[in-house]
């Protein structure tokens, strides 16, 4: 093999590496966006990957009908992939924010990209056969293909998503496909005389268009988010774990994580007061508090109202979230600068890992985590998790968790309550009304019997400034109306993740038109 042939062979193998990387990145990108908009990461990642693989099989089968001009067809496929893949995030944001047809657009996009990706490898393998035997061609092509897949799976969560976000990543990956086309056009120019100029012109124009989209991607994302969040978006941050958005309308400031409302400043106290003050009053001592979640600082603000609290350990996975809670002026105003209080210690770690590894014990453990809309969150509501939490509770201590809505997600709520009952001898469910969310629920547990009358006496004797809780309405917190009354459920375990299924079914029920 001459030097020229070796160079062409190297270009083709480099192309295999790049197209494999782009293919996996498109799968991860579409799965991530669908999770942001629709929740349930396991479901959407599974469906996206399964549909992608099926479409790739169709593409591989169809490749046998391409008999001539293999190199030209390969470059044309790269151009189409660059165009549609580069616009993938744009099209998904458009479909979700401006049309009712997100699933149709996402499915069509997956099938299109998967089919064209499936065409690539067979065509490249046949082209490489001009330079090596079939045995060597397949071995080299698949080796570079698998290496590219590994690189993509590492680069996406560690670099692309946290630093570029979904929209900019889409444009960038599309440009990589177009770069493969340009690279092959330049190297195989003499073999593409009839179509070289046309293909080069089209590729360059598309590259310029995607580059413009890349440069203005944040403005494009902000444009669509105006329709998604309705109110003015005043903050938008992408972390390796989630999309953080803050909106404002008059005096109402709202926090959204992955499109899900976390709080509204006008009524957040109706959620945070019952979450924190009820278990703190129930606990015999309040010196050392563990707060799992609560990266916005609002729960910590309430806990600090108790004068005998000596330390609050906040465990939140996302340093971007806790940094906003500690340093952003809006958050600091809302949480009354709680995260800069010397009593507060912030640790950025997975809650499950932390409680599994720590040896400390706490008088009160407050679990303020997002709803269990995927298995990653669902594990933080399992029997196994509560068994570990129990080991870090003092004998007279209290643990409480937010537990979704006993009205909108009745089975999910009572699943959490029943799971805690399987671990703790004394469990007390309670509920309140939060206008931004509707009826909301909490579950409190302890080794000792929880005395509601003692809670009320302790809480209202402290003269803690409260906006929502009162002695007159205290008893109503523990009353569940018939449409939110207890129902039989399975326990939530790491093995069955029954809670996620309950929650998904409830979400689907209330999202139906």
Three-state SS string over 378-440 comes to HHHHCHHHHHHHHCCEEEEEEEEEECCCCCCCHHHHHHHHHHHHCCCCEEEEEEEEECCCEEE
**Greatest pairwise CA separation for the chain in angstroms:** 91
Across the chain, how many H-helices and E-strands are there?
19, 11
The answer to whether residue 512 scores a pLDDT higher than 70 is: no
Q: 41-55, 243-257, 317-331, 453-467: which has the minimum mean pLDDT?
A: 41-55
State the average pLDDT over residues 485-510: 91
Q: How confident is the model at residue 204 (pLDDT cuts 50, 70, 90)?
A: very high
Query: Can you give the pLDDT at residue 23?
Result: 93
Q: What is the pLDDT of residues 128-185, one digit of tens each?
A: 877 766 677 777 778 888 898 899 999 998 899 988 999 999 999 999 999 999 999 9
Q: Residue 70 above 50 pLDDT?
A: yes
Domains in the chain: ranges and CATH: 3-224 (1.20.1250), 230-263 (no CATH), 265-511 (3.40.50.150)
Average model confidence (pLDDT) across the chain: 92
Q: Of the candidates 227, 294, 215, 322, which has an alpha carbon nearest to the alpha carbon of residue 302?
A: 294
Which region, left, alpha or beta, applies to residue 344 given φ > 0 means left and ψ of -120 to 50 means alpha?
Answer: beta
| Residue 501 bears catalytic tag | no
Instruction: Tell me the pLDDT tens digit for each residue of 319-376.
Output: 999 999 999 999 999 999 999 999 999 999 999 999 999 999 999 999 999 999 888 8
Q: Which of the residue ranges 148-162, 392-406, 482-496 would you say has the lowest mean pLDDT?
A: 148-162
Q: What are φ and ψ of residue 492, in 5° steps?
A: -95, 120
Asked which of 72-76, 132-136, 281-285, 401-405 is least confident by mean pLDDT, the reply is 132-136
What is the secondary structure of 207-275 as a DSSP string? HHHHHHHHHTHHHHHHHHHHHHH-SEEEEEEE-SS-EEEEEEETTEEEEEETTEEEEETTTTHHHHHHH
Using the predicted structure, report yes or no on whether residue 51 has a pLDDT greater than 90. yes
**Among 368, 371, 374, 501, the one annotated catalytic:** 368
pLDDT digits (tens, 9 = 90+) for 85-130: 999 999 999 999 899 999 999 999 999 999 999 998 888 888 887 7
Are residues 245 and 296 in contact, defined by beta-carbon separation less than 8 angstroms?
no
Please state the pTM of the whole predicted model. Answer: 0.82
The dihedral built from the CA positions of residue 90, 91, 97 and 103, taken in this order, carries a sign that is negative
């Amino acid at each position: 093999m001459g030097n020229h042939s070796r160079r062409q062979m190297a270009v083709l193998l480099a192309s295999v590496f790049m197209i494999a990387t782009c293919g996996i990145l498109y799968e991860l990108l579409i799965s991530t966006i669908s999770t942001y908009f629709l929740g349930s990461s396991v479901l959407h990642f599974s469906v996206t990957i399964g549909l992608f693989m099926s479409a790739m099989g169709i593409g591989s089968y169809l490749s046998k009908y391409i008999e001539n001009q293999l190199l030209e067809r390969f470059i044309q496929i790269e151009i189409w992939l660059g165009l549609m893949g580069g616009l993938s995030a744009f099209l998904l944001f458009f479909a979700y924010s401006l049309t009712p047809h997100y699933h149709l657009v996402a499915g069509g996009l997956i099938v299109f990209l998967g089919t064209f990706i499936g065409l690539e490898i067979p065509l490249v393998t046949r082209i490489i056969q001009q330079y090596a035997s079939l045995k060597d061609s397949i071995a080299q092509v698949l080796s570079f293909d698998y290496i590219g897949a590994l690189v993509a799976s590492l680069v996406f969560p560690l670099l692309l998503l946290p630093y570029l976000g979904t929209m900019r990543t889409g444009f960038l990956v599309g440009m990589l496909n177009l770069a493969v086309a340009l690279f092959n056009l330049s190297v195989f120019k003499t073999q593409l005389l009839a179509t070289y100029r046309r293909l080069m012109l089209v590729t360059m124009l598309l590259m310029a268009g995607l580059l413009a989209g890349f440069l203005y991607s944040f403005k494009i994302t902000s444009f669509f988010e105006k329709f998604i969040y309705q109110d003015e978006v005043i903050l938008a941050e992408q972390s390796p774990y989630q999309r953080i958005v803050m909106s404002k309308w008059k005096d109402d400031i709202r926090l959204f994580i992955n499109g899900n409302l976390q709080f509204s400043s006008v009524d957040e106290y109706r959620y945070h007061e019952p979450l924190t003050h009820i278990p703190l009053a129930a606990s015999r001592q309040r010196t050392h508090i563990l707060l799992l979640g609560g990266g916005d600082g609002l729960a910590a603000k309430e806990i600090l109202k108790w004068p005998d609290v000596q330390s609050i350990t906040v465990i939140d996975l996302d340093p971007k979230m806790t940094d906003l809670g500690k340093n952003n002026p809006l958050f600091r105003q809302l949480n009354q600068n709680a995260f800069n209080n010397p009593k507060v210690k912030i640790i950025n770690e997975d809650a499950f890992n932390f409680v599994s590894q720590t040896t400390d014990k706490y008088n009160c453990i407050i679990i303020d985590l997002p709803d269990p809309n995927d298995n990653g969150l669902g594990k933080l509501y399992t029997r196994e998790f509560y068994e570990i939490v129990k080991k870090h509770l003092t004998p007279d201590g209290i643990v409480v968790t937010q537990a979704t809505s006993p009205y909108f997600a009745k089975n999910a709520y009572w699943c959490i309550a029943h799971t805690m009952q399987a671990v703790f001898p004394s469990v007390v469910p309670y509920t309140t009304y939060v206008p931004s969310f509707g009826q909301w629920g909490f579950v409190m547990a302890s080794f000792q019997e929880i005395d509601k009358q003692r809670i009320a006496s302790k809480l209202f004797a402290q003269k803690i400034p409260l906006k929502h809780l009162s002695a007159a309405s205290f008893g109503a917190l523990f009353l569940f109306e018939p449409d939110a009354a207890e129902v039989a459920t399975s326990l939530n375990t790491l093995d069955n993740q029954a809670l996620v299924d309950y929650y998904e079914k409830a979400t689907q029920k209330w999202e139906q038109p």
